[in-house]
C-alpha cells in the first residue's frame, strides 16, 4: 500500500469537504443558524417602528448582531459534532500538521456563515427596503465574517473541552471579537450612509489587521489548545 505524507493543504481540504458533505446531508447547523437569523430580523422589524432614515442607521447594527449570535450557534455545533463521538481524537491522531484541523474547521465555519448571510441579506433587503447588494458592503461582511470565524473556531476548540461549552463560548468570544464587530458595524454604517471610501478606511484597516493577527495567532497556538 502506497502512502505519502499529506500536506497541510490536502488535509485542510479533506476536513472542509467532510464538514460540507456531513452538513449538506443533515442540515442541522445551517437550519439552526438560519431560523435564528430570520427570527431576529423579523422581531426587529416588528419591534422598531422604522422610517427610511432610521432603517439605514440601524441596518449595520441589526445585521451584525444577527450574524454574531447565529455564528456562535454554528461555531458551537461545529465543534460539538467532533467532540461528542470522539471524532476530534480521530482528527488529532492523523499524522498531519494540527493547524490543518484549525484551518479546515475555520473554512467550514466561514462557509456556513456565508451561506446563512447569503440568505439573510435578500430577506433583510425586502423587509427593510434597504439595498444591501453592494460590492463594498459585501466585502466588509466577508472580512468581518473571516475575523469572527478565525477567532471563534480557536475559542470553540477550547470551550468544547469543558462541560459548560454552550455558555462558555459566547463568554470567551464576544469580548475578544469586540474589535472585529465594532469595525464591521462602523464600516457597514459608513458605506450604507454613502460615506466616502476614505472615511471607512480606518475600520477596514482594523478588520484586515484583526483577520491577519488572529489567523496567525490561531496557527501558532492551536496545537496547545487541543492537547491535554
Partner 1 sequence: MIEVKKLVKRFGLKVILRGLDFHVEPGEFVALLGPNGAGKTTFLRILSSLSRPSMGEVQVAGYKLPHEAAQVRARLGVVSHLPLLYPDLTAEENLRFYARMYGIEDQEQRLTEVLEMVGLEHRRKDLVGAFSRGMQQRLAIGRAVLHDPEVMLFDEPYTGLDQDASEMLDEVLRSVAAKGRTVVMTSHDLARAEDLATRFDILSRGVIATSATRDDLKTTNLLAFYKQSLES
What are the residues binding partner 1 (CB under 8 A)?
A: 1-6, 10-11, 14, 17-18, 21-23, 25-26, 81, 85-87, 89-97, 227-228
Shortest Cβ 5–partner 1 spacing (Å)? 6
Shortest Cβ 27–partner 1 spacing (Å)? 10
8-state DSSP, 129: T
List Cβ neighbours of 105 (8 Å cut-off, separation of 6 or more). Answer: 15, 19, 78, 79, 82, 153, 157
The residue with cell 459534532 is 81
Distance CA 19, CA 107 (A): 10
User: Cβ closer to partner 1: 4 or 131?
Assistant: 4
User: Cβ closer to partner 1: 5 or 131?
Assistant: 5
Shortest Cβ 155–partner 1 spacing (Å)? 21
User: Cβ closer to partner 1: 53 or 163?
Assistant: 163
Q: Return the C-alpha cell found at 221.
A: 497556538
What does the buried/exposed string (b/e) look like for 198-216 if buried means 16 or more CB atoms within 10 Å of the residue's CB?
eebeebbebbeebbeebbe
Shortest Cβ 8–partner 1 spacing (Å)? 12
Shortest Cβ 47–partner 1 spacing (Å)? 36
User: Cβ closer to partner 1: 88 or 177?
Assistant: 88
Distance CA 165, CA 173 (A): 12
Contacts 24+ apart (CB under 8 A), 192-198: 192/56, 192/59, 192/60, 192/130, 192/137, 193/56, 193/57, 197/136
User: Cβ closer to partner 1: 151 or 160?
Assistant: 160
Amino acid at each position: 500500500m502506497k502512502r505519502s505524507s499529506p500536506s497541510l493543504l490536502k488535509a485542510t481540504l479533506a476536513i472542509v469537504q467532510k464538514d460540507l458533505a456531513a452538513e449538506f446531508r443533515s442540515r442541522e447547523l445551517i437550519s439552526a443558524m438560519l431560523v435564528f437569523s430570520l427570527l431576529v430580523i423579523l422581531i426587529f422589524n416588528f419591534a422598531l417602528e422604522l422610517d427610511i432614515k432610521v432603517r439605514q442607521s440601524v441596518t449595520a447594527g441589526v445585521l451584525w448582531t444577527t450574524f454574531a449570535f447565529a455564528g456562535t450557534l454554528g461555531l458551537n455545533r461545529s465543534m460539538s459534532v467532533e467532540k461528542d463521538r470522539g471524532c476530534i481524537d480521530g482528527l488529532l491522531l492523523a499524522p498531519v500538521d494540527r493547524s490543518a484541523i484549525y484551518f479546515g474547521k475555520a473554512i467550514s465555519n466561514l462557509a456556513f456563515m456565508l451561506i446563512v448571510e447569503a440568505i439573510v441579506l435578500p430577506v433583510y433587503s425586502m423587509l427593510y427596503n434597504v439595498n444591501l447588494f453592494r460590492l463594498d458592503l459585501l466585502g466588509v461582511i466577508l472580512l468581518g465574517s473571516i475575523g469572527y470565524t478565525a477567532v471563534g473556531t480557536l475559542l470553540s476548540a477550547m470551550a468544547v473541552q469543558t462541560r459548560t461549552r454552550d455558555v462558555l463560548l459566547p463568554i470567551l468570544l464576544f469580548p475578544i471579537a469586540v474589535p472585529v464587530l465594532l469595525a464591521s458595524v462602523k464600516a457597514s454604517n459608513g458605506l450604507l450612509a454613502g460615506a466616502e471610501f476614505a472615511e471607512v478606511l480606518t475600520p477596514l484597516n482594523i478588520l484586515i489587521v484583526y483577520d491577519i493577527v488572529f489567523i496567525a495567532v490561531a496557527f501558532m497556538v492551536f496545537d496547545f489548545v487541543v492537547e491535554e
